[in-house]
Amino acid sequence: MDISSRGRRGRRSRRTRDLPLRTCGILLVTAGLLISGCSSGSSPADASPAALARSAPAELAPYYGQKLSWRDCGAPGFQCASMKVPLDYAKPAAGDIQLAVSRKQATKKKGRLGSLLVNPGGPGGSAVGYLQSYAALGYPAEVRARYDMVAVDPRGVARSEPVTCLDGKQMDAYTQTDVTPDDPRETDDLRTSFQTFASGCKERSPKVLPHVSTVETARDMDVLRAVLGDDKLSYVGASYGTFLGATYAELYPERVGRLVLDGAMDPSLPARRMNRDQTAGFETAFRSFAKDCVARGADCPLGAESPEDAGKRLKAFFGGLDRQPLPIGASGGRKLGEALATTGVIAAMYDEAGWPQLRDALTSAMKNKDGAGLLALSDGYYERDGDGKYANLMFANAAVNCLDLPPAFADPSEVEKGVAAFEKASPVFGEGLAWSSLNCAYWPVRATGKPHRIEAKGAAPILVAGTTRDPATPYRWAQALASQLSSGRLLTYEGDGHTAYGRGSECVDSTINAYLLKGTVPEDGKRCS
């Protein structure tokens, strides 16, 4: 989850996006005190789709009772299908939408535990893309042996009735808009940018735009659970995917199987507090990067003697780009301004494996006046390809976030009053992230959600993982969610980067594997490094 560009409160785990940079994974082994979990697996022997359909509300029975027609996906071992769900659960007769589903069946039939649904976060991340590019190939062999690995692109995302808002050239202009306005004209330009984006979404996606909330997606997940023949849901969700999983548990506590919520969000926070907390998270991540950079002496482009000095130098560099952007050679006339440079730096904060690339990009930009490296980081973050086309990620991200919570700020005057608190949270990124939080103020659909505690009383034990220096989902959020959930168990990873599973900690990975494979939950508060 992340707000680094245009107020996005959610963002998928970086590892789902940067597979060439590092494996994005999930592995495991042993660990201290374990207690037996009361959750059973989601064995298909427990229920049939027909029986599950009969237990659904009458108006939803056709959806719960549907049979998926699996077909080849063009990749060895994968199957794909389309699943029908109501556009509006309050009015199921008003029409359907089709969601893209994919699976890779368990490698062993004996001891099969059912389906394991995965979601990489966002909101807006393609779960099907994550499954096919990593999860069904890179999760631990023992997990893949006993679970069918399954993903569904959430409504409004990627292959599932995708929200669209702007074309490539319009997005280029949008992503370059100055988010640290210095005068009324620049403030008007930023407001107009947000309004143009919102209007584009309304014009291009009028049907689906009011129906992409997390609650609706969680209800879709329950339809999929039943269609797959599982009496309970087993699930691994990262970043925003933790909010989706917690929402499912809130709606269907009795259907919770084994839920792993990694890089957790705190559902009780209003948008402004959430954005400010995340701003502080990026500052924490930057200080870790800066400390490492400074220790490298002459190899550090920030040329500082302390992380604080490094932050001041980076902020001054951003200010220079605000006044005079850097031209980029073969980029079709694009320039590296403050907004794109800031996004490029933040993109590298998700995983310490990206720090060398960031050092190189900053060296090129700050010393050689070549902004191509930072632009490439920013383009990767926005999922912009070489032809200037953008994936649906940014559109879906805003659409879901602006439905799930009322806006962080109502108008520019509120931002002006709130900037100081954001700058206190992050001297480097605070001003830009405060102004970026204005985006939902102009959204064409009123928010249907509100901040609230999620307790999910009656649910089986739910494993919540938090990383102490996570930039996008601050550790305190994992602590909060685990304490809210009546059956929450907190697993702490003392380290850097976004999310914990598959980051290289044998302690973390073995604990999560034991939970998924045996239903064994760790002692609450267990810490790993």
Structure tokens at 110: 């004996």
Q: Find tokens 């394991």 and name the residue.
A: 116
**Residue 160, Cα to own-chain centre: how many angstroms?**
17
Residue from 126, 213, 239, 510 carrying the catalytic annotation? 239
∠ at Cα 82 (77, 83), nearest 5°? 120
3-state SS class at 97 = strand
Give the whole-angstrom CA distance, residue 105 versus residue 94.
34
Active-site residue among 2, 172, 370, 470?
A: 470
Q: Tokens 């735009």: give the residue.
A: 209
CA distance 298 to 308: 17
Beta bridge partners of 114: 147
Q: CA-to-CA distance for 113 and 40, rounded, in angstroms? A: 9
Q: Give the DSSP per-residue string, 264-317.
A: ---TTS-HHHHHHHHHHHHHHHHHHHHHHHHTTGGG-TT--SSHHHHHHHHHHH
ω before 181 within 30° of 0 (cis)? no
Please list the alpha-helical segments (H only) found in 324-461: 338-347, 355-368, 372-382, 393-404, 412-425, 430-436
Instruction: Specify whether the CB–CB gap between 463 and 512 falls below 8 A.
Output: yes
Residue 521 pairs in a beta bridge with 35
CA distance 193 to 180: 13
> What is the residue-level pLDDT of the chain in tens, covering all 529 positions?
444 345 444 444 434 333 222 222 222 222 222 222 233 334 333 444 455 545 678 899 999 999 999 999 988 899 999 999 999 999 999 999 999 999 999 999 899 999 999 999 999 999 999 999 999 999 999 999 999 999 999 999 999 999 999 999 999 999 999 999 999 999 999 999 999 999 999 999 999 999 999 999 999 999 999 999 999 999 999 999 999 999 999 999 999 999 999 999 999 999 999 999 999 999 999 999 999 999 999 999 998 889 999 999 999 999 999 999 998 877 667 999 999 999 999 999 999 999 999 999 999 999 999 999 999 999 999 999 999 999 999 999 999 999 999 999 999 999 999 999 999 999 999 999 999 999 999 999 999 999 999 999 999 999 999 999 999 999 999 999 999 999 999 999 999 999 999 888 999 999 999 999 999 999 989 999 9
**Residues 2, 437, 496, 498: which is the catalytic one?**
498
Q: How far apart are CA 157 and CA 398, in angstroms?
A: 11
CA dist., res. 404 & res. 447, Å (int): 6
Structure tokens at 25: 């994974």
The two tokens of residue 108 are: 């062993």
Residue 204, CB half-sphere, CA atoms under 13 Å: how many? 18
Q: What number of other Cβ atoms are within 10 A of residue 442's Cβ?
A: 18
What is the Cα gyration radius of the chain? 22
239 is a catalytic site residue:
yes
